[in-house]
Amino acid sequence: MNALKARATGSGAPGSGAPRDRVTFEQLSWISACLGLTLLAHVTTLPVWVTATVVACAVLRLALAARGRDAPPRAIRLTLSALAIGLLFLQLRTFNGLSAGTALLGLIAGLKLLETRKRRDIYVITMIIYFLSLAALLQGESFWLLSYLVGVCWLTTSTLLRLTNAAHSIHRRTSVRYAGRILAQALPLAVAFWLFFPRFGGPLWQLPDNGHGATSGLSDTMSPGDITDLAMSDEVAFRVRFSGPTPPLEERYWRGPVLHDFDGHAWHRTGPVHAPGLLFRGPAYHYTVSLEPNQHNWIFVLDWPSESNAARGFLTSDYMLVQPSPILQPLDVTATSYAHAPAADPLSATMRARDTHLLAGRNPRSVRLAHEMRDAHPEALDYVHAVLQMFREQPFFYTLTPPLLGAEPVDEFLFGSKRGFCGHYASAFATLMRAAGIPARVVTGYQGGTYNRFADYWIVRQSDAHAWDEVWIEGQGWLRVDPTSMIAPERVEHGLNDIVSPGHELTSRWQQRTPWLTDTRLRLDALQLLWRQRILGFDQNSQEKLLGLLHVPEPDGQKLAIALAVCLILGMSWLTWSVRRELHVRPADPVSRAYDRLCRRLAAVGLPRMPQEGAEAFAARVAAQRPDLAPSIIALCRCYTQLRYARDPTRDAAAAFVSAVRAFRPRGSRASS
Q: Is-contact 50 103, C-beta < 8 A? A: yes
The winner for highest mean pLDDT among 217-226, 239-248, 261-270 is 239-248
Mean pLDDT of 623-652: 86
From the list 34, 422, 637, 639, the catalytic residue is 422
- Using one digit for the tens of pLDDT, what is the confidence trace for 388-403? 999 988 888 887 777 8
Same domain, 465 and 600: no
Same domain, 163 and 232: no
The three-point CA angle 116-120-125 to 5° equals 65
- Whether 466 is a known active-site residue: answer yes
Of 511, 532, 551, the position where a domain reaches its end is 511
- Dmax of the chain from CA atoms? 135
- Using one digit for the tens of pLDDT, what is the confidence trace for 528-548? 888 877 777 777 777 777 777
What pLDDT is stored for residue 236 in this prediction?
86
From the list 466, 469, 494, 599, the catalytic residue is 466
Same domain, 482 and 601: no
Q: How far apart are CA 159 and CA 170, in angstroms?
A: 11
Q: Within a domain: residue 561?
A: no
Same domain, 105 and 250: no
Of 511, 526, 551, the position where a domain reaches its end is 511
Q: How far apart are CA 134 and CA 73, in angstroms?
A: 33
Same domain, 138 and 278: no
Amino acid at 1: M
Same domain, 166 and 255: no
Task: Give how far Cα 67 sits from Cα of 63, 71, 168, 189, 297, Å.
Answer: 7, 11, 22, 45, 58
Same domain, 158 and 236: no
What pLDDT is stored for residue 509 in this prediction?
53
- Between residues 386 and 421, which one has the greater pLDDT? 386
Same domain, 381 and 506: yes
How many structural domains compose the chain? Answer: 3
From the list 226, 303, 482, 525, the catalytic residue is 482
- Using one digit for the tens of pLDDT, what is the confidence trace for 230-253? 666 778 889 999 998 899 888 899
Same domain, 111 and 41: yes
Same domain, 416 and 283: yes
Of 511, 531, 548, the position where a domain reaches its end is 511
Same domain, 394 and 489: yes
Q: Is the pLDDT of residue 657 over 70?
A: yes
Q: Is the pLDDT of residue 169 over 60?
A: no
- Whether 422 is a known active-site residue: answer yes
- Using one digit for the tens of pLDDT, what is the confidence trace for 302-317? 988 888 877 777 888 8
Domain extent, residue 620, equals: 590-663
What pLDDT is stored for residue 44 in this prediction?
85
- Whether 34 is a known active-site residue: answer no
Q: Is-contact 51 44, C-beta < 8 A? A: no
Q: Is the pLDDT of residue 209 over 90?
A: no
Same domain, 140 and 38: yes
